[in-house]
Amino acid sequence: MANAWMNARLKQYLEAEKAILVGGQSYRIGNRTLTRADLAEIRSEIKSLVAAGAMADESLQTRGRRTVQFILHD
């Protein structure tokens, strides 16, 4: 299970990905082209955080294991 820091980091990367997808990866001012961020790098980091167990929606995390015991009667 990931810690709160990893979950917060994942949320930041997801927001960055959204900003790039909505606003574009680069833009021009005059004759200069500026790049906001590298989409491939952001997606790579998202994959690694998810693989490490980070979750964007913390309500989906389990708080621990539950055990259930069944007793069969004749």
Closest CA to 11 of 62, 49, 63, 61: 49
CA distance 57 to 68: 26
Q: Each residue of 39-58: pLDDT tens digit?
A: 999 999 999 999 998 888 76
CA distance 65 to 59: 15
On the question of pLDDT at 69 being above 90, the answer is no
Tally the domains of the chain.
1
Closest CA to 25 of 9, 4, 41, 39: 39
On the question of pLDDT at 23 being above 70, the answer is yes
> For residue 67, is it within any domain?
no
> For residue 71, is it within any domain?
no
> For residue 15, is it within any domain?
yes
CA distance 34 to 26: 5
Judge if pTM exceeds 0.75: no
> For residue 63, is it within any domain?
no
Q: Between these two residues, 74 and 40, which has the higher pLDDT value?
A: 40
Helix (H) or strand (E) holding 5: helix 4-23
